[in-house]
Amino acid sequence: MTDHRSLAARFGTPLYVYDLDDVAAAHGALRAALPDPCELFYAFKANPHPDVARALREGAGRACGAEISSTGELAAARAAGYPTSSCLYTGPGKTRAELAEAVAGGVRLFSAESETDLRRIGAAADGRQVVVDCLLRVNSPASASATGLRMTGVPSRFGIDAETLPDALPRLLDVPGTRVIGAHFFPLSNAEDEQSLVDEFRRTVEVAARLRDDAGLPLRFLDLGGGFAAPYGVPGERPAYPKLRAELEDALDLHLPGWREGRPRLAFESGRHLVGGSGSLVAEVLDVKHSRGQVFVVLDAGINAFGGLSGLGRLLPASVRPVGGGRGSVVATLTGPLCTPGDLLGRDLTLPDLAVGDVVAIPNAGAYGLTASLVRFLGREAPAEVVVRGDTVVSVSRLDHRREYAVTGPSTLGGAQP
């Protein structure tokens, strides 16, 4: 087990610790749970740290590709050694400037969320005199599962409504600079159980085959998305999926019988499941305050270091564990150090009976941790990030955001110097 206390003593707190052995184990287990052959894209939004991402490019015998949604994530993928040919560029609000940069940088596979998005992709490709491959992201007409974060079967900015696709398809297949080669689905995130995931994937395969057969959608490439779960900020193990492979193979054999020979190429995506369990956020107790019958435990890590994605419905951590043992328990509110009442990590939690100076760890913080948080709020230094493999420290780094001025002196609104 990683010695968080010694790492905190060496590098200070707050401190993120990522275990590459855990990343490799998660990668291998997910590969084994998926049909073969298939491709697996790592969702960089989960954790763009180059050492973490590099482990997924190198591990489990078959490298992950990179699912990216910005030129910043493209830069992170390159820093981790991913070739641009392995990148899938996604997202509902791609700008002309970032598309031009991505195409110029060699990205050749995009997911188009709408006709407007597809034409913008095509314009960027046409401007470089190349043709790029595109998947049409589809918003399925219904969901097979009621669990997890719903991303299909509802009004959404993500994807093209499946019922509108037959009428739109002739236009979509004739956009200069693009070649539509398949479909991209992402029906749910963080499925609550294996059966929900199985049902959603089976439903998606059926919809994809129907769009191919009835609407004429090209289907040389099918990205079924993800939904693979992991605990967030609480103790627990990432789920196993012992039935998934066989159930998916049955559905694919039924609806897309050429898939074993690569017709279509099959792909999945995962972020939190691959890296969530690898990370812990280590913090020091700065204060334990008693106020009008309530206890407040103040850590040196708050919403600037963890919990910035509460808008996605994630629960705040239900527990922290002391590094090196505990002394009973107490019901308390867990807060960070920021000068705002919004800096809360949880109310009325059953916590260890902590004292000032104790070191604690929030588990399962390897996904949607530092870069998904309010890192620059109130100007505090970002936590250090330590990457380990076994007993070896692989790297120690810290994000450093600096302001860069485009104009260094007075100028008129039109841009000319006075």
Task: Identify whether 134 is a catalytic site residue.
Answer: no
Residue 80 backbone dihedrals phi, psi, to 5 degrees: -90, 5
Nearest CA to 264 among 226, 208, 336, 328?
208
Beta bridge pairs of residue 135: 111, 182
Type of residue at 314: R
DSSP 154-184: S--SSSEEGGGHHHHHHHHTT-TTEEEEEEE
Residue 211 vs residues 100, 163, 255: alpha-carbon distances, Å: 30, 9, 11
DSSP track, 78-107: HHTT--GGGEEE--S---HHHHHHHHHTT-
Please tell me the total number of residues recorded for the chain in this structure. Answer: 418
Phi-psi region of 129 (alpha: psi -120 to 50; beta: other; left: phi over 0): left
Tokens of 411: 């100028």
Please, what's the b/e burial string for 290-304 (b: 16 or more CB within 10 A of its CB; e: otherwise)?
A: eeeeebebbbbbbbb
Strand bridging mode 279-291 / 15-19: antiparallel
Candidate list 38, 64, 134, 339, residue with the active-site label: 339
3-state secondary structure of 220: coil
Asked if 398 and 360 touch (Cβ cutoff 8 Å), the reply is no
SS3 343: coil
Q: Whose CA is closest to 2, among 413, 391, 397, 277?
A: 391
Residue 265, Cβ neighbours under 10 Å: how many? 16
Instruction: List residues with catalytic annotation.
Output: 339
